[in-house]
Structure 1
Amino acid sequence: MPPMISDPDHPAWPAFLTFLQRAVLAQQNGLAEARAIWLEAATLLQAVDHGTPENITFSLLEQRRHDDAVAFAAIIAQLRPDEAIASFRLGYALQLANRHGDALAPYRHALALDPLLPQLRTNLAGALALTGGDVAEQVALLEGELKSAPLDINAWTNLAQASRFAMDLPRALEAGARAVELAPENPLALNNYALALKEAQRWDEAIQLTQTSCERAPGDPSMRSNLAMLHLVRGDYLQGWAAHEARWQGSRELGGNRPAMPAPQWQGEPLAGKTLLVWGEQGMGDLLQCCRYIPLLAERVHAQGGRVVWNSFPQMGALLVRSLGSHVDDYSAGGGVEALPRFDYEIPLLSVPLVLGTLDDTLARTVPYLRPDAAASASWRARFAGEKRLKVGLAWTGSLGHQRNPFRAVGWQRLASAFANIGGAAFYSLQPGAAADVAAAQTAGLPMTDYTAELKSFDDTAAFVSALDLVITVCTSVAHLSGAIGQRTWVLLDVNPHWTWLLERRDSPWYPNATLYRQPRFGDWTPVLEEVTRDLGALANPRG
């Protein structure tokens, strides 16, 4: 038998692949004799029977030759369409190449051929989870795997995550505990159980397990990023901001997406005669929340004899430059790295508090720090002049693509049910692109007016919000915008809130005009809506 030529740098590798590809083409054209000839030619270079294709695929994967592994596994899967293991290997190679969406089809094909193939259902569930696939299907796959392989650590670990997103917290906790029991040193098992514990508000246990997962996987930034969220939500900014630097490698939203900058990140070096670029990052809410640090940053840089240039998001319109632009030497929005002015150091906005210090005792004094356009605000007030009822803006969901939106979103249905019979209040949608939801809410009995088509930027929205009396919102950018301009804001929070809102307290050091309404139990919005409805009724009808 000839030696294995699984190294793509081997001189015979191109010919080997070519012979296999021609065998595939012959098979697709129904040329059985030609297929046999080309396979025989390939076999003269490298055997492809029994476990050899698996050995070659895994050898390529070990060498991190992911594209070569995928190409080879795809050829074998086409040559052997009736072998579940061939399609499974292709799906596995695609997953290791970070092509989880592409892995679904070969995994599903393998599942149709052999539903009991070990690890198949676990891997397919993992690929679905990483591509936003149906949660119910993930749970069914993993439960099925555990019936035939009750000691499958990966299945228990993944089930803890899938059950959490399926809003089945008891099963998530059970699966997480079982995974840790079977593999107490496994960092992913520890991490996923900790995520379930957060939903159960078992914060001390969650942070202990997350710290242990970081110790077990010191090179995995996702564990440290999760630890940062725990520190921050508990108000431990000193540890939280430092750990938050792992977000660029470890968070699901930002991992690997830090733009390449032509200058080093500022760590507090002297800036005399130097220019510092501070740039917007993450979501709109994060930007609106943390742009308050711009004056403090600029004060320090200017005191050292340096310059500050600020690049933000074009969706803000003129809001940021009007409110904070006087503090910086230059302001721009969007345009990409190549359009930026020359700078000596750079810093992403949410790294600023780490360099400046925790600053938790200065937060309330910064509000309001954003100023809506005075003329636009006056125009909205004039349009509302005839409205004597309490003017209430509503936002019932965050970004549909946010991984925690299923937990954060209240939904228009709950608001319509709760507010439909409140007299003395006029409701206005703050939900862009939600005309169908607004229409459905109106049909359900909630009289809500929708001017969002006129709001082209956050600057427009700020002017509109400033003319209202109250904003009721879930955790989304509207909450931060309303809080930043000093509007009275009621924020509806799930049990595991974004770190901004901290834990247990009804007020917010970030936004003094905000009142926080928290779920007492996982997934239970009923007490929240009952409390908000009671308070809204009292505010709208003070003598009623």
Structure 2
Amino acid sequence: MLPTSDYEADVSSAFLTFLRHAAAARQNATAKAESRWLDAASQLHPLDDDSLETLSAALLEQARHGEAIELAAIIAQLDSHRALTHFRLGYVLQMANRHGEAIAAYRRALAIEPTLPRLRSNLAGALMMTGGDLSEQLTLLESAVRDEPCEGDAWTNLTHAYRTGMNLPRALEAGARAMQCSPLSPLAHNNYALALREAQRWAEAEQATKTACAIAPSNTTMRSNLGMLQLMRGDYTNGWSSHEARWDGSAELGGNRPAIPAPTWHGEPLAGKTLLVWGEQGMGDVLQFSRYVPMLADRVHREGGRVIWNSFPQMGALLTRSLGQYVDGYSTGVDLESLRPFDYEIPLLSLPLIFGTRASTIPAAVPYLHADDTASQSWRRRLAGETRLKVGLTWTGSLGHQRNPYRRVGWERYATHLGRLQNVAFYSLQPGADADVAAARAAGLPMTDHTAEFATFDNTAAFVSSLDLVITVCTSAAHLSGALGQRTWVLLDVNPHWVWLLDRRDSPWYPSATLYRQPQFGQWEAPLEAVARDLNALAAEHRAP
């Protein structure tokens, strides 16, 4: 008979032991011993497909991934000529987030029975998770929906694959089909919402995301996506609370919140208590939201408490020089547990929620970060011989960021649109981009590169302060320049990071910033033409007597 839940929780180890012996006998070509061990195993649990799948599902539900994988691996060894056994091994490996190993099992199944239901979709999904070849993903998925026109999972994965391949019309078509075929799949609604965002169909995107949340209310990925969309649309009332799901649901942070030995602060009185505020996410986020530290310190000190602050060592002395006077202690690059004693903790990007930030209450006074004056003066002296407009450039964000393929402009486009401008001196702000700088120069974009001298953001801040303008994509340079109060032009894709909001050329977060937006998905021509036109006018104004 099928196992009870108690059995599933305990006696499967004996069942696995018998199967191990059977597998060893198979390897040693001892058919009688193999049969004997399989008979013994079958006394504990049936060996038919449905029963094994039930046991495997129970083990996965109990997070007993090791046993589920071992069970599937032994069955695949014992029944190696069937695609289904290799498929199930791939599946449990995927459920354990071992996608690379799942690919090998799926490929073995594919070699035996290419049209096995869900196989091509799952293999494509594993390839997605490991950065596998996009063309192979598309081939697998397109063949899957050709053979089974209403395989919802395949359409859902196709939505993602087409969007990744910058084919927005196909992504929208696939997303609509996925929802028709799998109306109760939260991932189908979520992936369609992501495609709708690239199409700037904001209301539909939010509705699809809310539907995904309603279907899977405990799924933090859906909740995190909803929060970022709400914030991008300026719905701070709902967005800040939804954004708290980022620690389990976002691609960058999911499951990576540090285990800090103190409760999270939700605004409780702090008389006689110490609060740890700590930097999170990317460098740009720390640069942007450190503006809340003075507000936080003022509140805590008025209540009779203390604030200690920990951030990234890459900041150098920038944060402590600019804001260190407000806190009772500042540190970088240490194990948060070693900072004890403290009574509460809060990540930096939860402060807008604590302060109930709305569009009208964004702390937007700049500069709130200050470069080292001596270093800035040194750079001004070094650049004093340059009479042209001095412009810093970045053309890509972090290569590993999931949104970078959409955000990056590339030096090639800069060379095309800015290379012929007169009275402008360009300087790279792109660290570690020697090859790009050399290629840009060869293509007609003259650029000076001092980034080898930028060991920390403090060094970069001193250099940026000596320039006339920074032109950048959505990356940390935009936030650094904006926080310094430097004139900053930011090039944005149609589905920008939520801090830039929508449909405006200015930023309530950075008064010195001007935003140049794509009009349609993937179209950089118009914003770059506008940048070139405005830069030419600014350079002429700079040269005027």
The alignment's TM-score, normalised by the length of structure 2, stands at 0.94
Equivalent residue, structure 2, for 1:15: 17
1:56-455 equivalences under 5 Å are: 56-363=55-362, 365-455=364-454
How far did residue 63 of structure 1 move?
4.1
Displacement of 1:193 in angstroms is 1.1
Counterpart-to-counterpart distance in 1, 2:19 and 2:428:
59
* Cα 1:11/1:389, change in 2 over 3 Å: closer
2: CA distance, partners of 1:2 / 1:370: 65
Distance 2:17 2:362 in 1: 66
Indicate if the aligned counterparts of 2:516 and 2:527 stay in contact, CA closer than 8 A: yes
Whether the 8 Å contact between 1:408 and 1:475 is mirrored in structure 2 is: yes
Shift of 1:256: 1.2
**Deviation of 1:10 (Å):** 4.5
Count residues in correspondence: 537
The one-letter amino acid of 1:121's match is R
Secondary structure of the 2:74 match is helix
SS state at 2:244 partner:
helix
- Following superposition, the deviation at residue 42 of structure 1 comes to 2.0
Contact 2:422 / 2:536 at 8 angstroms: preserved in 1?
A: yes
Aligned to 1:505: 504
Determine if contact 2:261/2:337 at 8 Å carries over to the other structure.
no
CA contact (8 A) 2:237 2:358 kept: no
Q: Which of 29, 36, 45 is residue 41 of structure 1 equivalent to?
A: 36
- Give, in angstroms, the shift of residue 399 of structure 1: 0.8
- For residues 537 and 285 of structure 1, do their structure 2 counterparts lie closer, same or farther at Cα, with a shift above 3 Å needed? same
Shift of 1:385: 0.9
Q: Counterpart of 1:129 in structure 2: which amino acid?
A: M
**Displacement after TM superposition at 1:330 (Å):** 0.4
* 1:281-301 per-position Cα deviation (integer Å, ceiling 9, x unaligned): 111111111000000011111
Q: Does 1:463 align with 2:462?
A: yes
Question: Corresponding residue for 1:528?
Answer: 527
The share of aligned pairs that are identical, in percent, is 63
Q: What residue number does 2:472 align with?
A: 473
Contact in 2 for aligned 1:6/1:60 (Cα 8 Å): yes
What secondary structure sits across from 2:245 in the alignment?
Answer: helix
SS in 2 for 1:133: coil
**Which segment is superposed worse, 79-88 or 350-359?**
79-88
Distance, in Å, in 2 between the alignment partners of 1:2 and 1:521 is 56
State the 1:129 CA deviation.
Answer: 1.8
Q: 2 CA distance for matches of 1:268 and 1:58?
A: 42
Q: What secondary structure does 1:256 align onto?
A: coil
TM-score scaled to structure 1, two decimals?
Answer: 0.94
**What is the rounded CA distance, in whole Å, between the counterparts of 1:398 and 1:2 in structure 2?**
54
| 1:92/1:103 contact within 8 Å kept | yes
SS at match of 1:281: coil
Gaps (5+ residues) in structure 2?
A: none
Q: Which secondary structure state, in structure 2, belongs to the residue aligned with residue 369 of structure 1?
A: coil
How many angstroms does 1:59 deviate by? 4.4
Superposed displacement of residue 46, structure 1: 2.0
Structure 1 gaps of 5+ residues are none
Contact 1:8-1:68 within 8 A present in 2 as well? no
Deviation at 1:64, TM superposition (A): 3.3
- Return the alpha-carbon distance in structure 2 between the equivalents of residues 536 and 186 of structure 1: 48
Q: Are the counterparts in 2 of residues 368 and 486 from structure 1 also a CA contact under 8 Å?
A: yes
**Cα separation, partners in 2 of 1:136 and 1:163, compared to 1, 3 Å:** same
Letter in 2 for 1:40: S
How far is the alpha carbon of 1:455 from its aligned partner?
0.5
SS of residue matched to 1:181: helix
Tell me the secondary structure at the aligned position of residue 16 of structure 1.
helix
- Mapped contact 1:7–1:13 kept (Cα < 8 A): no
After superposition, the Cα gap between the structure-2 partners of 1:65 and 1:137, relative to the gap in structure 1 and judged at 3 Å, is same
Asked if 2 retains the 8 angstrom alpha-carbon contact of 1:6 and 1:13, the reply is no
Task: Kindly state the Cα deviation for residue 536 of structure 1 after the two structures are TM-superposed.
Answer: 1.3
Alignment of 1:541 onto 2:540? yes
Asked if the contact 1:2–1:44 (Cα under 8 Å) also holds between the matched residues in 2, the reply is no
Q: Can you list the C-alpha shifts for 1:157-193, whole angstroms capped at 9, x where unaligned?
A: 1111111111111111111111222333332211111
Cα 1:80/1:44, change in 2 over 3 Å: closer
1:173–1:196 contact (8 Å) kept in structure 2: yes
- For 1:345 and 1:7, the matched residues in 2 are separated by 37
SS in 2 for 1:507: coil
- Tell me by how many angstroms 1:347 deviates: 0.5
Mapped to 2, the partners of 1:2 and 1:527 lie a distance apart of 65
Instruction: Check whether the contact 1:19–1:41 (CA below 8 A) recurs between aligned residues.
Output: no
- Give 1:41 shift: 3.2
1:187-226 deviation digits (Å, cap 9, x = unpaired): 2211111111111111111112212221221111111111
